[in-house]
Structures are given as structure tokens and as C-alpha cells.
Amino acid sequence: MALIIITGSAIFAKLVSFILEKIVTKWVKKTNTTLDDEILKIIKLPVFLTILFIGTYIALMQLNILLEHHQEIQKIFTAAFILIATISVTRIINGVIRWYTVEFALKTETKFDEQFLPVVRKIIIGFVYAIAIMLILREVFDVEITPLLASLGIVGLAVALALQDTLSNFFAGVYLIADRPIRIGDYIELENGMKGYIEDIGWRSVRIKTLPNNYIIIPNSKLAQSIITNYYAPEQEMSIVVPCCVSYGSDLEKVEKITIEVAKEIQQNVLGAVKNFEPFIRYNNFGDSNIDFSMILRVEKFVDQYLVLHEFIKKLMTRYDKEGIEISFPARNIYFKNEKQ
């Protein structure tokens, strides 16, 4: 009888393997994702072994000669089933992470996924093995695991406190990747005035490259709590406001006309200026020595403003000198009560 059960379980295991190999495999290949192919490849052997082990367990339990050893047999097979389940789960976790790495992580701008996933994989697999060990201790060796869990909780709390800064930076890095307030290549400014390009977002810190070609290394937790101006969001193109002024004796209509002519020339000819943008002027203040106004230009990205502003100032001064438009020096008139004083 036991031999028949073992033989039957072996035949059934081969039949299930055949179905998985010939039928289910063809079906999953028609899907748009390779994840189901990966999982199917992983579970074939565990399914075969599980069916075979179940048949063997039932067969052994039928033998009268082993009646006195039923408890030991049950514990042995319980341990075996736990090990098979544990190995299957860890292989599935590895398969899912491997699939995600190929399909998504390697295609992202940041290296954070490549750094983050191995850490997550080790944590999850360690957690699965810890559960398996505790189940074996309780089900096979009849060990009370409640005190063990309490001890592990205390140890975990101590480790969490010791690694508070590290964990804070780690989870802040996860937030930066998920929420995406910044991306690799963005030009940003922090609330303390530091500016630069995002070069890398790691699991502990963000590396920013400044225009003078230096690196600023900021812990993820600090950056996540900072007020950030992202000059590349929602788009790289941006306006620049150039403060200007002319003397009180100037013809403001003429000033406006000439200034816009110069600005249009800059927009059309200077590298980095937005060609189809119509610059405009806005008078905004009666200053101490001049009438103040702003000239609004537009550039393709943040750093282009430096060359555009440079060329605009040069050409505007040349044109003002040619047209006789004056920018007065700061001056104060002092009036005395009478000439003798």
C-alpha cells in the first residue's frame, strides 16, 4: 500500500510538472510581462518535491512498523515542508527583485534602485529565514518562542536607536525617489543659498555639483526637510528679470522702444535665449536718482542666464550711449537756508 501511494504521488508530481512545463509555460509566454515566467520557473521544482514529500509522508504513516515513530516522522516532514516553503519564498523574492532590476531599475536615472534593492532583498530574506527558524523551533523542537520574540524585540529596538541617523537617511532617500521632488541632472537651490546640479541620489546622501566644479554632500534626511527651489521643474525654460533704470529726464516711450529692440536682438542671437519669446519692459519705481524698471527675458535653462545677461548689458549700454539716454549716478541735492550759511 505504501509503495502504491509513493508511486502514485510520483506519477502525480510528474503530471503536474508536465502541465506546468507544456501548458502553463505557453500561456504565461503570451503575457506582456516576464515576471510570471520567472515565478513559474522558480516554483516547478518546489511543487514537484512538495507533492512527492506529501505522498511519502502519507505512505510512511500507513506502515504499521512505524507506528511508534509517527511523532518523529511528523516532525521531520514538518521541518522539510518549512524548509521547502522557505527556499521557495526566498527564490521568488530573488526572482521578483531580479525582474524589477532588469525591467525598471537599470532604466532609471538614479543609481538608488541598484543600491536600495540589494539591501531590501537581504532584509526580506533575513526576515523569512527568521520566521522559518522560529517555526521549526516551535513545531519540531517544542521550544516556546514568546520569550525569544520579546528578546528579539528589545535587540531590534536597541539596533534601531543605534542606527537612527542611518535609518533616517535611508528612508528619506526612499521618499526622494518615490516623491521625486528632484531628479538626476536638475539644477536646484537650497534654502541656505547653495546651488548645483544633482549628480547622484544614494541611500545615505545626495551629491550636488556646483558651478565652480565642487561637490556638496547632503544627508538625505537634511535634504528632505529643506526648502528646495528646482529650476528644472516643471520645465527648464525660465524667465529672468533684469533690473534697469534711466534718469528722470529721459523720454520713457523712447527708452521702452530701444530697450525692447535690444532685448529682441539678444533673444534671437545669443546662445541659450528662447528665440520665439517676446521680451517686455515694466516701469516699477521712482528711485532716488532714476526711474526704475524691469526687463523680462527668457532663457532655455538656468545657467544660460549668465551669458544672456552679459550680452544684454553690453548691448544696452552701447545703444543708450548712442541714443543719448542717461543713467544717472546716485546724487543728493543739499539746500541751505540762506546763502551765508
Q: Where are the domains of the chain?
A: 2-162, 173-230, 238-323
What pLDDT, on the 0 to 100 scale, is given for residue 107? 63
**8 Å CB contact between 267 and 277:** yes
- The CB-based long-range contact list for 247-253 (8 Å cut-off, 24+ gap) reads 247/289, 247/290, 247/291, 247/325, 247/326, 247/327, 247/328, 248/290, 248/291, 248/328, 249/326, 250/291, 250/325, 250/326, 252/283, 252/291
What pLDDT, on the 0 to 100 scale, is given for residue 161? 78
CA distance 264 to 276: 9
Q: Closest Cα to residue 311, out of 270, 282, 283? A: 270
What pLDDT, on the 0 to 100 scale, is given for residue 335? 67
At 325, list the grid cell. Answer: 539716454
Q: Distances from the Cα of 49 to the Cαs of 8, 63, 96, 326, in angstroms?
A: 14, 21, 22, 93
What pLDDT, on the 0 to 100 scale, is given for residue 105? 62
What pLDDT, on the 0 to 100 scale, is given for residue 5? 83
Q: Closest Cα to residue 94, out of 132, 133, 122? A: 122
**Residue corresponding to grid cell 537612527:** 164
**8 Å CB contact between 302 and 231:** yes
What pLDDT, on the 0 to 100 scale, is given for residue 162? 75
**8 Å CB contact between 43 and 88:** yes
What pLDDT, on the 0 to 100 scale, is given for residue 338? 65
CB atoms within 10 A of CB 46: 16
**8 Å CB contact between 192 and 178:** no
CA distance 78 to 57: 10
CATH 2.30.30.60 for domain 173-230, yes or no, is yes
The CATH architecture annotation of domain 238-323 reads 2-Layer Sandwich (3.30)
Q: What is the pLDDT along the chain (341 residues), one digit of tens a residue?
A: 777 888 888 889 889 988 988 888 888 888 888 888 888 888 888 999 999 889 988 888 888 787 788 888 899 999 999 999 999 999 999 988 888 877 776 566 555 566 677 778 888 898 899 899 999 998 888 888 888 778 878 887 887 777 788 878 888 887 887 788 898 899 999 999 999 999 988 878 999 999 999 999 999 999 988 999 999 989 999 999 999 999 999 999 999 999 999 999 999 999 999 999 999 999 999 988 899 999 999 999 999 999 999 999 999 999 999 999 998 877 666 767 665 54
